[in-house]
Homo-oligomer: A and B are copies of this chain.
């Protein structure tokens, strides 16, 4: 069975360092395509560049212009290879416009040590059937976010007040997450997961989509199959921008990805 996520990040070779992708309209949100989806497309090209180091352990993307559905090219420039990690610069372009410029370091997660010493605390979520599904999101949210149809998300009831006009003001969102067709998570899909939830600013009473300026993700372990837990938080809104930290925990209770992005405060929904 082919899952839609794999179809949507699929690449064909144009030449040795250039790949072609067909960006799918199903990932539209606000005025463009979801940044996590674009990161996964770029990350997939780097993955194929380093067959023996297939996992993104760190990737930093700078979002330069809004992407549109349709053809895109991904350009991979190997910057260092050798030893246990490899680094590349990667651009995702449409025509003459660069959509994202990124740097990425890859490794084989299975060949790293198996020591784990995590003091971060796993999000405490009620069981999925006691959480609020994304299918109940308000029509104005779904209208600007067709990408929500890609996901089965179950939001923590304590931080879903924004859906009924009563945001908590804490600056926190958390949810169970999986892809709608049960495609299991892997290191590349985690690059999309870290940017899949609505902006944490929803919980601060600021509706509207928040354009990402920069997003860095670390994938720290290969995720176990099943539901993921995703938690977003912000602690510093200033100068029209905010940082959004994301943690992704797998069904085995392991912290598999951490990310931080710098984003502009949401533009009001028109």
Q: Bound complex: CA of A112 vs CA of B80, how far in Å?
A: 37
User: Which B residue's beta carbon lies closest to that of A233?
Assistant: B119
Would you call A210 an interface residue if the criterion is a C-beta within 8 Å of the partner chain's C-beta atoms? no
Q: Contact between B101 and A236 (Cβ–Cβ < 8 Å)? A: no
Q: How far is the CB of A222 from chain B (nearest CB, A)?
A: 10
Contacts A80-B98, A112-B241, A213-B85 given; indicate if A60 touches B235 (C-beta within 8 A): no
> Contacts A119-B171, A216-B216 given: A114-B58 contact, CB under 8 Å?
no
Distance in angstroms from A219 CB to nearest chain B CB is 10
Query: Which chain B residue shows the least CB distance to A234?
Result: B119
A243 at the interface (CB under 8 A from B): yes
Q: How far apart are the CA atoms of A241 and B116 in the complex, in Å? A: 10
Is A229 positioned at the interface, with any CB of B under 8 Å from its CB?
A: no
Interface stretch among A26-34, A146-154, A255-263? A255-263
Interface string of A3-20 (1 = CB under 8 A from B): 000000000000000000
**Is residue A79 within 8 Å, beta carbon to beta carbon, of the partner chain?**
yes
Main secondary structure of the interface of A (DSSP, over half): strand
Does A62 belong to the interface (CB within 8 Å)? yes
A89 touches B101 (CB 8 A): yes
A216 → chain B, closest Cβ, in Å?
5
Chain B residues with CB under 8 Å of A103's CB are: 60, 62, 101-103, 214
Q: Is A113 an interface residue (CB 8 A)?
A: yes
Cβ contacts under 8 Å, A75 to chain B = none
**A139 to nearest B CB, angstroms?**
28
Kindly report how many copies of this chain are found in the complex they form together: 2
**B residues within 8 A CB of A117?**
204, 236-238
Q: Would B98 and A79 count as touching, CB distance under 8 A? A: yes
The verdict on A105 contacting B213 (CB below 8 Å), with A116-B237, A238-B117 known, is: yes
Q: Would A239 and B216 count as touching, CB distance under 8 A?
A: no
Q: Beyond A79-B98, A101-B89, A103-B101, is A115–B60 a contact (Cβ under 8 Å)?
A: no
User: Quick one: which of B64, B114, B118, B262 contacts A218, CB cutoff 8 A?
Assistant: B262
User: Smallest distance from the beta carbon of A100 to chain B beta carbons, Å?
Assistant: 10
In the assembled complex, 17 residue pairs joining A and B whose CB atoms fall closer than 8 Å, in A order, are: A58-B213, A60-B216, A62-B87, A64-B79, A64-B87, A79-B98, A101-B103, A102-B103, A103-B214, A109-B239, A112-B238, A113-B238, A113-B240, A116-B238, A117-B204, A216-B260, A221-B238
On A, residues with C-beta under 8 Å from B are 57-58, 60, 62, 64-65, 79-80, 85, 87, 89, 98, 101-103, 105, 109, 112-120, 171, 204, 213-214, 216, 218, 220-221, 234-241, 243, 255, 258, 260, 262
